[in-house]
Amino acid sequence: MQATLSFLGSGTSMGVPTLGCGCAVCADAHRPGSPNRRTRPSILLAYNKHNVLIDTGQDFHAQAVREGIQHLDAVLYTHGHADHVLGMDDLRPLTFGHRGELPLYADDATADVIERVFEYTFRKVDRYPTSARVTMHRLPSEAGVTLHLFGARFVRVPVAHGRDTIAGYRFGAAAYLTDMSDIPEGSLPLLRDLDILILDALRREPHPSHSHLENSIELVNKIAPKRAYFTHISHDLDHEATNATLPANIRLAHDGLQLNFDIAPEQN
Ligand SMILES: [Zn+2]
Ligand SMILES: [Zn+2]
Ligand SMILES: [Zn+2]
């Protein structure tokens, strides 16, 4: 079953341009249409007439306007950091037209953050009347936990994000591993035979909780997908200049980039 993956955002938590920064990449990012303009990280999967979103950062509203998102069928969360959850409230108008409540899927740690930040939405009594009509579904955090959505399987791929372990997801022939400093050995068998691998590659220098360019290239070589895309990118990496130095099967993602792949290969 064919799916289209859209990068709603490819930037790090601070976004690019980064506020207060006058570097060349940030300067270029002010130019409309610049691939260096990077909003907070999120992807949309469209398949089988359904839309599944991964994460809702602070830029979700602008991303949904840009991509013309008219409806959503499910939202999966990777972890509870601001750049992945703070746009949850912007789901509201999309949930009002949804049949039943819009399902959110998250592990306990992430669900706890979302339910605390948006307490008025999840309150059992006196729920704020126009809050988002969403239901939180808590997912176990073990490797390989599988969620079936609209004919595709979403498999939890645990990744190290500094000292935390958070959710990466594999769906058919693609995997999305944002906010990742390392991939535990136990997750590697879940990443065999990939068409598309999406990895965090923050910058050139090592960082305690994000993979850097060289480390991410090594991981691509180890996992050996057909093609790889890097995301969660800071202003350290100029789009064109960095792509020119990367192997042909690895590219930096950019906001608005769309990729087609097979989301249910076992059904073919
Ligand atoms: Zn992040
Ligand atoms: Zn900058
Ligand atoms: Zn994070």
Q: Tell whether the model's pLDDT for residue 82 goes beyond 80.
A: yes
Alpha carbon of 182 to ligand 3 centroid (Å): 13
Task: Report every protein residue that has its C-beta within 5 angstroms of ion ligand 3.
Answer: 81, 179
pLDDT at 91 > cutoff 90: yes
pLDDT band at 98 (very low <50, low <70, confident <90, very high): confident
Please determine, for residue 164, whether its predicted confidence score (pLDDT) is greater than 80. yes
Q: Report, as an integer, the average pLDDT of 93-122.
A: 95
Would you say residue 127 has pLDDT above 90?
Answer: no
The rounded distance, in Å, linking the Cα atoms of 81 and 108 is 14
- Quote the ligand 3 centre to 268 CA distance (angstroms): 35
- What confidence score (pLDDT) does residue 97 get? 81
pLDDT digits (tens, 9 = 90+) for 132-155: 999 999 999 999 999 999 999 999
- Band (pLDDT 50/70/90 cuts) for residue 252 is very high
How many A from CA of 172 to the centre of ligand 3?
A: 24
Could you give the CA distance from residue 167 to residue 107 in angstroms, rounded to a whole number? Answer: 8
Residue 63, pLDDT > 90, answer: yes
The pLDDT value given to residue 204 = 97
What number is the average pLDDT over the span 62-81?
A: 98
Q: Is 17 exposed, middle or buried (0-12, 13-18, 19+ CB in 10 A)?
A: buried
Residue 238's CB is within 10 A of a number of other CB atoms, namely 18
Q: Does 260 have pLDDT greater than 70?
A: yes
Residue-level pLDDT at 224: 98
Ligand 2 centre and the CA of 235: distance in Å? 5
- CA 209 to ligand 3 centroid distance, Å: 8
Q: Would you call 52 helix, strand, or coil by DSSP?
A: strand
Tell how far the Cα of 232 is from the centroid of ligand 3, in angstroms. Answer: 9
pLDDT of 193 reads 98
What is the C-alpha separation between 87 and 67, in angstroms, rounded? 16
Measure 143 CA to ligand 3 centroid, in angstroms. 19
Distance 51 CA to ligand 2 centre (A): 33
Average pLDDT (170-192) is 98
Mean per-residue pLDDT, 107-133? 94
Looking at residue 268, what is its pLDDT? 65
Residue 144's DSSP bridge partners are none
The pLDDT > 90 percentage for the chain reads 95
Q: Is the pLDDT assigned to residue 94 strictly greater than 70?
A: yes
What pLDDT does 58 receive? 98
Q: Identify the band that residue 266 occupies on the pLDDT scale cut at 50, 70 and 90.
A: confident
CA of 266 to the centre of ligand 2 (A): 44
- What phi, psi does 189 have (nearest 5°)? -60, -20
Q: Which ligand is nearest to the CA of 12?
A: 1
Mean pLDDT of 181-195: 98
User: Is pLDDT of 174 > 90?
Assistant: yes
Tell me if residue 118 falls in helix, strand or coil: coil
